[in-house]
Structure 1
Amino acid sequence: MPRTVRTFSVENIKDFKQLLLSWSQQFETALWLDSNKYQQHYTSFDSALALEEFTAIKTDYSNAFDKLKEYQSTTKDYIFGYISYDVKNDVEQLSSKNYDGLDFPDLYFFQPQKLIFIRGKNIEFHYLNMVADEIQNDFTDIQAAAIHIDIARATEENIKIKLRIHKAEYYAKVETILEHIKRGDIYEVNFCQEFYAENATINPAAVYQHLNDISEPPFASFLKMEQQYALCASPERYLKKEGSKIISQPIKGTAKRLISTIDDAQIAADLARDEKERAENVMIVDLVRNDLSKTAKKGAVQVEELCKVYSFKQVHQMISTVVSEIDPQLHPIETLRSTFPMGSMTGAPKVSAMKIIEHLEASKRGLYSGAIGYFTPENDFDFNVVIRSILYNEEKKYISYSVGSAITIKSDAAKEYEECLLKAKAMKYVLTNAK
């Protein structure tokens, strides 16, 4: 589908990004991706905003990857959207029967009429030819937009966060997982719990802006899909395709940031040497290597970086980078199909871990621990892992955020619970102003 491209230059990118997000709220469909200038390897752009469906696909998990394959193949254009965790049921003989307060479709992608990239100080408008005559007016309107994203008025005063699994029940479930590990059913499982609020109203763009400001992660995203929203401050990449190269960057291992520079450096160094955290990370690296080998050329899977500690505003994270090379003729959907869902959010062995997750977790994961991203016209793609995220159904007035941790044979239930609270801290703070 032909697009008209025009480039403008802007001096104050930080202000422009706020104006852009504010201006985008008038549209029914919007997806904003932001690297927060976190220039790690394999970054394609600083930010992107996709607006207004020209075409779209919205489906449940049944044959979801085949439907996406057909849609992506026939569109031959940029498409933006998400794959929810429950598309696992398309890949394996699994089901999702737990409670779902959000009702997001299992898979959703759209071909945007209007697409804007930020690279450095350049603002690139990639508009379908049918709306190309709106580029100049839109650029003028964005610059003139009132920044009505008021962080101070992001939420109501009375949002009450509830736990789907209470502390004692969480401890008991961790003990059940440890029994599974001792029996040899699994080595590791990523066990998650939901925090939620009912009959609650928020300003999604303002909550996202606040969450992003205090986190500044490299894979942030804001999704507006009519009355459903994802406010995502993810630090983790799931999978990226650059030509014949595939890149996966799983996270396993978390430590809190400390105010003292010396103490903060020490806790990061301790994380790098922590045997339990390294063991968790290496188990998932092995799983990712196995997943990537299904579509890779023989001997083409490599670990570029193992257990490296990266520091973000809220936490230190241990990240590994695994790459592979695929046959250029292989359809891009096949690499996603053969690796989904990401190992960092399931455990190992993957299918056994997913069965235990379904049995012990109290909520359907939905978009949480799924992936948000895009495809290019050249068949490349890039997807994050939907973690550190607030999901919101405006019509149902239901707010949800989930967190999890990896349970291994060395896990202590109390420490795992504390890790969950650490990961939940930023989401709780922007919703309730309570640390």
Structure 2
Amino acid sequence: MMDAITGEFPLKKDWIEKAIHWAVQHFDYTSYHHPNSIPYPGQGFPHVLYAGQKTIPWNDLESYAGPKAGILSYDLKNKFERLKSQNPSLVSCPEACFFLPELTIFFHKETLEIKYAEPQRLFEEIGAFQPETVPKNISPIHVKTSRNEYIQNVRNIQDHIREGDIYEMNYCIAFEASVQSISPVQVFLELQEKSPMPFASFFKCKDQYLVGASPERFIKKQGNKLIAQPIKGTIRRGQTPDEDQVLKETLRQSEKERAENLMIVDLMRNDLARIAQTGTVTVDELFGIYPFRQVYQMISTVSATLRPRLSFAEIIAASFPMGSMTGAPKIKCMELIERYENFKRGWFSGTIGYMDEEGNIDFSVIIRSIIIDTKAKHLFFAAGSAITYDADPAYEYEECLLKASAIHEILST
């Protein structure tokens, strides 16, 4: 392939959609991210599309020049601790999939930048491209955990909390369906319309796809500064401005939600302290309340100054998986997650993101996302909540359904 050069072009209304479809058709690996202009502490992802053919090992990214994009499965945890993932896979995801982009497109407000061998030719080719229309034909969505099973499991988890095994645990339930035909790109665009998020992500790894609408950042590294932004605390949006404000203040003042958030903040402080210069771990914001289309979220920000010359692999080994998707203490929670959940998480509650040319990184938490295997003709998604000693099991089940509602609606229409 010829060396890539950069061209700048006007951004046309339907060009982005065509570009994602075109990249999926021409490359084995594609990663697209959109921040949706949503206010977020430290900003969401940049608006960018990467596509390529060459995979690289996740634990040696610094050996390769240029940007890299990729995804890590939750089950990579077994590489760092004496843990197992023996529950059945709903979609058999690779533990890691990173690639070197041959094509990079940055989208700005009125222009776009194409980094490719022949940017002018590609701009014209994508502009003329007509994506194939693929009907959405899937079986009825099946939830793998009934309400009664969920409530009993939550009570069992609360017994562990009372016995002092854990303080809080993120317990998730899965939804699955078989697929007759589907366009992952079209499903992503529909989810974007229904539930725009600051870490909206679409990822292709050969026959497997992530269709993501995540509100949560895992870690971001800029220079030698690392930030983590755990989300704990969710409440629905109101139907009127007055109701909306009341719900926002209810979340802000909730002792339960604040306690959940604080526990994960402490866990993240401990994780970052393992790789930070002494005395640099700081809580920049505690219990921030941020609006999204369907819900309000409680977000805290923890930062640290990294020790010199730490690699991406060392950062991941110290902090993965993110505490908001495990609970505290992390290792015991992951053991109990394996016992009480009835599916292998795979990409769900893993992380997706990129490393730029300077070695800066930004990775989100894979939640509010669909994992699709077009070859195996199956998909699944999952949702969870933090279980504490005083959690109401019936309320937590409803929270899971609320978090999954946008995806359920998209797949059911």
2:318 alignment counterpart? 338
Letter in 2 for 1:88: K
> In 2, Cα distance between the equivalents of 1:225 and 1:144?
25
Letter in 2 for 1:360: Y
2:128 alignment counterpart? 144
The yes-or-no answer on 1:269 pairing with 2:252 is no
The yes-or-no answer on 1:155 pairing with 2:136 is yes
Aligned CA distance change for structure 1 residues 200 and 167 (closer, same or farther; 3 Å): farther
The yes-or-no answer on 1:26 pairing with 2:25 is yes
What is the CA distance between 1:11 and its match in structure 2? 4.9
**For 2:103, which of 96, 106, 114 is the aligned residue?**
114
What is the CA distance between 1:268 and its match in structure 2? 1.1
* 3-state SS in 2 of match to 1:391: strand
Q: Which deviates the most, 173-182 or 320-329? A: 320-329
1:37 alignment counterpart? 37
The yes-or-no answer on 1:17 pairing with 2:16 is yes
Residues 137-167 of structure 1: per-residue CA shift (max 9 Å, x gap)? 111122233365x6xx7522x5311121111
Letter in 2 for 1:37: S
Letter in 2 for 1:294: R
Provide the aligned C-alpha RMSD in A.
Answer: 1.9
Letter in 2 for 1:144: A
What is the CA distance between 1:77 and its match in structure 2? 2.1
How is 1:284-433 mapped onto 2 (pairs within 5 angstroms)? 284-433=264-413
Q: Which runs of 5+ in 2 are unaligned?
A: none
What is the CA distance between 1:18 and its match in structure 2? 2.1
What is the CA distance between 1:6 and its match in structure 2? 1.9
What is the CA distance between 1:41 and its match in structure 2? 4.1
**For 1:69, which of 54, 59, 65 is the aligned residue?**
59
Percent identity of paired positions between Structure 1 and Structure 2: 40
What is the aligned residue count?
A: 412
Please give the TM-score of this superposition, normalised by the length of structure 1.
0.91
> In 2, Cα distance between the equivalents of 1:356 and 1:198?
28
* 3-state SS in 2 of match to 1:198: strand
Q: Which deviates the most, 258-267 or 241-250? A: 258-267
1:135 alignment counterpart? 119
* 3-state SS in 1 of match to 2:181: coil
CA contact (8 A) 2:44 2:198 kept: no
Aligned CA distance change for structure 1 residues 3 and 179 (closer, same or farther; 3 Å): farther
What is the CA distance between 1:244 and its match in structure 2? 0.3
What is the CA distance between 1:293 and its match in structure 2? 0.5
> In 2, Cα distance between the equivalents of 1:258 and 1:326?
41
Q: Which deviates the most, 358-367 or 191-200? A: 191-200
CA contact (8 A) 2:170 2:385 kept: yes
Q: Which runs of 5+ in 1 are unaligned?
A: 58-66
Aligned CA distance change for structure 1 residues 306 and 200 (closer, same or farther; 3 Å): farther
Please give the TM-score of this superposition, normalised by the length of structure 2.
0.95
**For 2:217, which of 217, 225, 237 is the aligned residue?**
237
> In 2, Cα distance between the equivalents of 1:329 and 1:25?
35
CA contact (8 A) 1:46 1:120 kept: no
> In 1, Cα distance between the equivalents of 2:264 and 2:135?
37
CA contact (8 A) 2:248 2:296 kept: yes
Aligned CA distance change for structure 1 residues 212 and 88 (closer, same or farther; 3 Å): same
Letter in 1 for 2:92: D
